[in-house]
């Protein structure tokens, strides 16, 4: 094992990304609400590399901004003359480094820390380089790995491969591990006498073999090394990520009634014994405690949901929502920066924004908190055990005391003391016989 050797990583992200048809750098397009390259970077962090270099081309400033809080160097490849040329651009950032180098791709975000560790572990003292291979259902135009067992005898790009070589199913993912002391001298020897006129990184494997060295291949599944060059491939990688996350959730004791219709964010935390019904979407920053049920067609982001709560169907929980134990949010209820105490409930057709709702309070259908005057936001406080009648408007800033009752249809603009009844509506007026007289008059008029 070589666990004590220093480790560096080079992440290639200099592709033009023209097929994405976007002003956003390709590697910054999100998977599960997180830039795809950051998935890779965070997986790499599990190996605690001593140095990391990202090689970019156009839109360097976007990548720099995304990595601003991380100890990562940026190198630029201009012009783009192939993967071998791209890796060469990291040489200055790795000056004086003596250890193992992982070469990764920013548009292949699903490679796990475990696979990276396998690559590194296979780089034993008698091995000069290790390549990560895979066997896709359709090998297509991938470069091929010709191997005797796990020993590589040749690597060839599809464009330059013979018919017999194209028939090989073991393909090159592009990921590899190489000793730093050999990497850049080998790259300096790589030529561009090929169909594309580019400097291919895999050509260093041929040089190692020609020099009498040893190159090995380890394999992984095709999903793990899936790359993104188009919006369709972005959707494909998203689907792979979601499929993995759903399987992990169910393995951890979460019930998904229809797994394929549930979508998680990269940081969604779901406890065991949570039930999630079909067509639920989680945005970033959601935690759900044990025993809760999320009913169908709900959208949740930035919310902390306590134990044994009920949410939905058709609920929208926005950032800053906190639900205490056994709280209930029902159909067509929207919350934002709303904190509901234990057992509080808003079961129908309600908007609660910038609000604190006490334990056991009941919010009637059609209630809204009016928080914004066009310039500033204000807060609504609803006390424990309060009852807000249907179709009420609470005009913030306003406080409804503990145990208070707001009559249905009220517009509340001033504080309501605890245990008080607040009514803001005209007195009801009934005129006996008026409706019958009206109908008689209108019927006579219609006959004329």
Q: Which two tokens stand for residue 64?
A: 């720099």
pLDDT (0 to 100) of residue 11: 98
Under the banding of pLDDT at 50, 70 and 90, the label for residue 331 is very high
Question: CATH assignment of 255-422?
Answer: 2.160.10.10
What's the CA gap between 102 and 47, in Å, rounded? Answer: 11
111 touches 227 (CB < 8 A): no
For range 324-339, the mean pLDDT: 98
Select which of 33, 266, 299, 348 is catalytic: 348
pLDDT (0 to 100) of residue 3: 56
Burial 143-161 (b: 16+ CB within 10 A, else e): bbbebeeeebebbbbbeeb
Q: What fold does the segment set 7-225 form as a domain?
A: Spore Coat Polysaccharide Biosynthesis Protein SpsA; Chain A (3.90.550)
For strands 362-363 and 321-323, give the pairing. Answer: unpaired
Q: Beta-carbon neighbour count of residue 284 at 10 Å?
A: 15
| 137 CB burial (10 A radius; 0-12, 13-18, 19+) | exposed
What's the CA gap between 405 and 409, in Å, rounded? Answer: 12
pTM for this entry: 0.92
| Selection from 142, 289, 148, 147 nearest residue 225 by Cα | 142
Residue 1 has pLDDT above 50, yes or no: no
- In whole angstroms, what separates CA 60 from the centre of its chain? 22
What rounded mean pLDDT belongs to the chain?
95
What's the CA gap between 255 and 279, in Å, rounded? Answer: 14
pLDDT (0 to 100) of residue 304: 98
Show me where the domains of the chain are located.
7-225, 255-422
Under the banding of pLDDT at 50, 70 and 90, the label for residue 193 is confident
Question: Could you confirm whether 348 is annotated as catalytic?
Answer: yes
For range 254-264, the mean pLDDT: 98
| 133 CB burial (10 A radius; 0-12, 13-18, 19+) | buried
Terminal CA-to-CA distance of the chain, rounded, Å?
A: 103
For range 404-420, the mean pLDDT: 97
What's the CA gap between 210 and 269, in Å, rounded? Answer: 51
Report the percentage of the chain scoring pLDDT > 70.
99
Report the percentage of the chain scoring pLDDT > 90.
91
């Amino acid at each position: 094992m070589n666990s004590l050797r220093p480790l560096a990583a080079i992440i290639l992200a200099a592709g033009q990304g023209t097929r994405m048809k976007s002003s956003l750098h390709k590697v910054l397009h999100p998977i599960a609400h997180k830039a795809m390259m950051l998935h890779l970077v965070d997986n790499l962090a599990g190996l605690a590399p001593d140095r990391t270099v990202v090689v970019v081309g156009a839109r360097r400033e976007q990548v720099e901004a995304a990595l601003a809080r991380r100890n990562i160097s940026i190198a630029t490849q201009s012009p783009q003359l192939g993967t071998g040329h791209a890796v060469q651009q990291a040489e200055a950032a790795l000056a004086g480094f003596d250890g193992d180098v992982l070469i990764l791709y920013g548009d292949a975000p699903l490679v796990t820390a475990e696979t990276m560790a396998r690559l590194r572990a296979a780089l034993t003292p008698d091995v000069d380089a290790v390549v990560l291979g895979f066997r896709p259902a359709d090998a297509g135009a991938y470069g091929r790995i010709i191997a005797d067992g796990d020993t590589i005898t040749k690597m060839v790009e599809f464009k330059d491969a013979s018919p017999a070589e194209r028939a090989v199913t073991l393909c090159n993912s592009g990921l590899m591990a190489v000793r730093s002391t050999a990497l850049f001298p080998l790259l300096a020897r790589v030529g561009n006498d090929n169909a594309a006129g580019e400097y291919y990184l895999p050509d260093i494997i041929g040089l190692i073999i020609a020099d009498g060295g040893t190159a090995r291949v380890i394999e992984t599944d095709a999903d793990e090394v899936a790359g993104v060059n188009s919006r369709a491939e972005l959707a494909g990688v998203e689907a792979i990520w979601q499929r993995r996350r759903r399987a992990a959730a169910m393995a951890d004791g979460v019930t998904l009634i229809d797994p394929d219709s549930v979508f998680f964010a990269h940081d969604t935390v779901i406890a065991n014994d949570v039930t999630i019904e079909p067509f639920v979407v989680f945005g970033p920053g959601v935690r759900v405690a044990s025993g809760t049920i999320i009913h169908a067609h709900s959208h949740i982001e930035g919310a902390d949901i306590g134990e044994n709560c009920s949410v939905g169907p058709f609920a929208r929980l926005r950032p800053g929502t906190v639900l205490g134990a056994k709280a209930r949010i029902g159909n067509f209820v929207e919350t934002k920066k709303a904190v509901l105490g234990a057992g509080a409930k808003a079961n129908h057709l309600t908007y609660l924004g910038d609000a604190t709702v006490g334990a056991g309070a009941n919010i009637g259908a059609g209630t809204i908190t009016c928080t914004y005057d066009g310039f500033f936001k204000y807060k609504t406080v609803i006390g424990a055990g309060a009852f807000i009648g249907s179709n009420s408007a609470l005009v913030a800033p306003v406080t409804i005391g503990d145990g208070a009752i707001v009559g249905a249809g009220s517009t509340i603009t001033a504080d309501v003391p605890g245990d008080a009844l607040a009514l803001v509506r005209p007195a009801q007026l009934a005129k006996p016989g008026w409706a019958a007289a009206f109908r008689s008059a209108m019927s006579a008029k219609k006959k004329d």
